[in-house]
Amino acid sequence: MKINTSSVMILLFGLLFTGNALAEDRHRPEIGKKAPDFTLTDATGKKHTLSDYEDKFVVLEWLNHDCPFVVKHYATGNMQMLQEKYRDKGVVWFTIISSAPGKQGYLEPDQAKKITREKKAKPHAVLLDPDGKVGRAYDARVTPHMYVIDPLGMLAYMGAIDDRPTANHDDVKGARNFVSEALNLLMEGQSVEVTTHQPYGCTVKY
């Protein structure tokens, strides 16, 4: 194959350009600022747009069902309990899967439905983000990485689900859960005490 210098130069220039653009795109969501809007398709094929849920509290939960840190919260029923408890209080809970096809945690829509059913999970919807676009917009780094959005669409909490960064199932009980704490305070009209906390878990498999 013949390669001429100018096409290599153009290619290099293109790569450079792409690299810079990625660096600029890498902005971080901020507490007290508008949560990045998105539209994603759920496991049943229905589209959901975040801004359609303004006037409601929204929780975003990043999922990789095979990650030991996620298993901790599902095997103990902790995540399902939170989903159900806050669904009953009108909170819209989105579970988001940003694993790329072929990587751990990636699920086809039918698999996602099946696993949701098997785990008796109670999210409003399981959203599929196989190209990782929404995960990256939120700078979601681990599973479970958690976000709480208030009814004005502002980010109120982001980070760890609780203060026990372990995969040990016994650590669920007695942990300080930052998601329920934030939701409870906001629902009482108070401000959130812990708005960010170092998240823990497996890396998101983009």
Partner 1 sequence: MSASKAAKMFLMRILPVKHLKGIELIPGSLIFFLMVVMATAARGNVNALFHDSSPDNTNNRVSVSLVPAVAGLADVDRQTDIFWLGVDMDIREGWHVYWRNPGDSGLPTTIRWDEHGFLTPGKIHWPRPARFDEDGITTYGYSDRVVLLVPVSVSPEKHNASERSTESNAADNDREYALSAHINWLVCKDICLPESTQLTLDVDDNGGFSGYSETAAGIIAESQKLVPESVSGWQAEAELESGRFTITLVPGSEKALFPDSDDIYFYPHEQGIIEHTAPQIVAAYGDRMKLEVEASRYLRTTPGTITGVLSSGKSGKSWFQDRSIPAIEITMPVISGADPE
* List of residues contacting partner 1 (CB under 8 A): 7, 10-11, 14, 17-18, 20-22, 24-25, 28, 65-68, 101-104, 107-108, 111, 114-115, 141-142, 159, 165-168, 194-206
What is the secondary structure of 78-90 as a DSSP string? HHHHHHHHHHTTT
Give the closest residue to 165 by CA, choosing from 200, 195, 132, 196: 200
CB of 174 to partner 1, least distance (A): 18
CB of 11 to partner 1, least distance (A): 7
CB of 145 to partner 1, least distance (A): 10
CB of 90 to partner 1, least distance (A): 29
Nearer to partner 1, 39 or 54 (CB): 39
CB of 92 to partner 1, least distance (A): 25
Nearer to partner 1, 20 or 44 (CB): 20
Distances from the Cα of 67 to the Cα of 3, 106, 152, 181, 201, angstroms: 45, 11, 32, 24, 8
Nearer to partner 1, 79 or 204 (CB): 204
Give the closest residue to 179 by CA, choosing from 155, 160, 164: 160
Nearer to partner 1, 109 or 151 (CB): 109
Q: In the chain, what's the furthest Cα-to-Cα distance?
A: 69
CB of 83 to partner 1, least distance (A): 20
Distance of CA 36 to the CA centre of its chain: 12
Tell me the one-letter amino acid at 161.
I
Which residues, other chains included, contact 188 with Cβ-Cβ below 8 Å and sequence gap of 6+? none
Nearer to partner 1, 73 or 91 (CB): 73
- 47-49 and 39-42 beta bridge pairing: antiparallel
130 close to 100: Cβ distance less than 8 angstroms: yes
Nearer to partner 1, 17 or 49 (CB): 17
